[in-house]
Structure 1
Amino acid sequence: MPDAPRRFPDRVRELLDDLDAVSGEAIGDAAALLLDSIGAGGIVHVAGAGHSLALVCETFYRAGGLAAVRPVWDPGVLPLDDAVRSTRVERRPGVGRAVVARAAPAPPDAAVVFSTSGRNPYPVEIAEECASRGVRVIAVTSARASRKAAARADTTLADHAEIVLDTRVPPGDVLHPAEAPRTAAVSTVLAAYAWSRVLAALDDLAAERGVELPRWTSANVPGGDEVNAALLERYRRRVPELGAGDGEPDGRRGG
């Protein structure tokens, strides 16, 4: 009897293990880079397009997440109100550079760019422009997906990053059924796991060095609003996406 196809959950766990094996060292390096940046008073600029914007949301104004984070994005790459347009904009040269010019990152800031393929002009330009400004770049991408993707820029996202976290996402993203994958994309699962591992490593390293990280607290636990109000006051001038309200959290974050 032939071996039964591996179940979908098993294949996801295998990819998570693969990510751990391939990117474990890079995760520690990324944590150290971020701690150096934040410890020196920097902001972490985070970018992505299309469904990679889910990872930008995961990094920003998130319970347990870093407060020193600014989302760097162009409304045109959001697929929710015009999906076809978002694909065109991600492929349009110049948009990524303009986004960075508006954000104007500078050392000791850092940048994290999420893109599974890392081959479209938008994420490539963001990483390249940040690096040209002396901003250290972390790429969260998939080497094998990148190798199989259509090349729409002369370079790749990974080419402009100091640290590359390889998410191990397969070409085409989908994972099911095993013999001819056509559904169940895994890029968000793997990239979110990689980012959570970075946060855990960052926490350990900060504790080791005696550094207090600026972290959001769930607005749904006692004392959370007070902690977050102080962080809003600290960062809202440097992170305009936090809003310019009255300083009181509205309880949306933290789930």
Structure 2
Amino acid sequence: MANVSALAGTWTDRAQQLLSDLIKEQGTNISTAAQWCADSILKDGVVHLFGTGHSRIPIEEMFPRYGSYAGFNPMGELSTTFHTQVVGSNGQRQAMYIERVEGFAAEILKNWQFNKNDILMVFSVGGKTAVPIEMA
């Protein structure tokens, strides 16, 4: 690399180490989950993806601007993300509050149809808020 600053090199080294650790510690689980997704899609199922707040980012990564990956469905609930009402009074506070409301996951699920071959993958940064926990 040409003229890489020490900080950039340190950041890259640390990122590579984190990815290496992830594969060592969770590689088997990641492979299992990937196989479940493949099996679901092969059986005409759908892999539904759900997350609130910042945990919506992995869902967005599966749905690039030019389309999406076949077999995957984003379950974006706008009221639980920072997309809605970020500007204005209490916009972010509202989204953070809503993702903590017990029972809201059941209401969200009423908007979707599932079949026996579907999978629901839930993303959560901390694993502490009510909606992702109930969704799982």
State the TM-score, normalized to the length of structure 2: 0.80
Partner Cα distance (1:21, 1:64) in 2: 32
Is residue 7 of structure 1 aligned with residue 10 of structure 2? yes
- 2:25 pairs with one of 7, 22, 26: 22
How many Å separate the matches in 1 of 2:73 and 2:64? 9
Task: Map 1:84-233 onto structure 2 (within 5 A).
Answer: 84-127=93-136
| Contact 2:127–2:133 (Cα < 8 Å) also in 1 | yes
Deviations 1:198-227 (A, max 9, x none): xxxxxxxxxxxxxxxxxxxxxxxxxxxxxx
Which of residues 77, 86, 99 is equivalent to 2:80? 77
Aligned partners of 1:101 and 1:44: how far apart in 2? 17
CA deviation string 1:74-104 (max 9, x = no partner): 2211213221111101111111121122213
What number of residue pairs does the alignment pair up? 123
Alignment-mate amino acid for residue 123 of structure 2 = F
AA matched with 1:120: T
- 73-82 or 37-46, which moves further after superposition? 73-82
Q: 1:108 to 1:61 in 2, by over 3 A?
A: farther
Deviation for aligned residue 1:61: 5.3
Question: Under a length normalisation based on structure 1, what TM-score does the superposition of the two structures give?
Answer: 0.44
Q: Aligned equivalents of 1:13 and 1:68: distance in 2?
A: 30
Q: 1:97 is aligned with what amino acid?
A: A
Identity of aligned residues (%): 30
Check conservation: 2:50, 2:122, Cα contact below 8 A: yes
Which amino acid in 1 is paired with 2:59?
Answer: V
Alpha-carbon offset, residue 30 of structure 1: 1.1
Deviation readout 1:139-180 (Å, 9 max, x if unpaired): xxxxxxxxxxxxxxxxxxxxxxxxxxxxxxxxxxxxxxxxxx
Unmatched runs of 5 consecutive residues or more in structure 1: 128-255
Instruction: Return the offset for 1:10.
Output: 2.3
Q: CA deviation at 1:46?
A: 0.5
Query: What amino acid maps onto 2:93 in structure 1?
Result: V
Q: Is the 8 A contact 1:73 1:99 kept in 2?
A: no
Per the alignment, in what secondary structure is the counterpart of residue 113 of structure 1? Answer: strand
Q: Please say if 1:41 is aligned against 2:44.
A: yes
Cα distance in structure 1, aligned partners of 2:99 and 2:130: 7
SS at match of 2:110: helix
Residue segments in structure 2 that go unaligned for 5+ positions in a row: 1-6, 86-90
